[in-house]
Amino acid sequence: MFTAIRSAARARASLSAAARPCPSPFRLLPSHRTIVTTRYTKEHEALAFDHDTGEGVVSITEHAQESLGDVVFVELPVVGTKVAKGDQIGAVESVKAASDIYAPVSGEISQVNEDLNERPGLLNSSPEGDGWLCKIKLSDASEMDALLTAEGYKATCES
């Protein structure tokens, strides 16, 4: 039996890569790595910047959602709006307070998280994941350099 398996393995190994049958319904695709850098503002916004697309995902930080309490309403920006760094792009209302959201960088709003209209609690359960606010196509990627690193943001929160 083992001889038959070895023979089949040798025969398969001799096939060219193009003629080799796919052993499963999954195909191996060339991997594509994307560099994503996350930076923070002193106002508790986070920006996950994708270097390949030039687009950043804006969210609030874990610290911000803890300070806000249960989020009940989220005001999102309008897709296509051009914003400058520091412009108000939305607001978050919770049972404790309301807080404005500011653009961490300049660019154009390319997408908003419509799920937040129906499920604003996503900001509490996954603020930097499923609870993202919007995506911005950066007009000047060098603005990322002025934002805080994770270590810098942590130091700001502790002071």
Q: Is residue 105 part of a domain?
A: yes
The residue type at 54: G
CATH of the domain at 110: 2.40.50.100
Its domain, for residue 96, covers 36-158
Task: Say whether pLDDT at 14 is over 90.
Answer: no
Domain total of the chain: 1
Q: Is residue 100 part of a domain?
A: yes
Collapsed DSSP state (helix, strand, coil) of residue 73: strand
pLDDT of residue 36: 80
How many CA within 13 A on the CB side of residue 12? 9
| Residue whose C-alpha is closest to residue 59's, from 111, 5, 108, 1 | 111
Question: CA-to-CA distance for 41 and 101, rounded, in angstroms?
Answer: 11
Lowest mean pLDDT: which of 20-34, 62-76, 90-104, 129-143? Answer: 20-34
Question: CA-to-CA distance for 55 and 48, rounded, in angstroms?
Answer: 8
Read off the DSSP letter of residue 144: G
Judge contact between 44 and 68, C-beta under 8 A.
no
pLDDT digits (tens, 9 = 90+) for 62-110: 999 999 999 999 999 999 999 999 999 999 999 988 999 999 999 999 9
Question: CA-to-CA distance for 90 and 69, rounded, in angstroms?
Answer: 18
> What are the DSSP calls for 76-134, one per residue?
PPPTT-EE-TT-EEEEEEESS-EEEEE-SS-EEEEEE-THHHH-TTHHHH-TTTTT--E
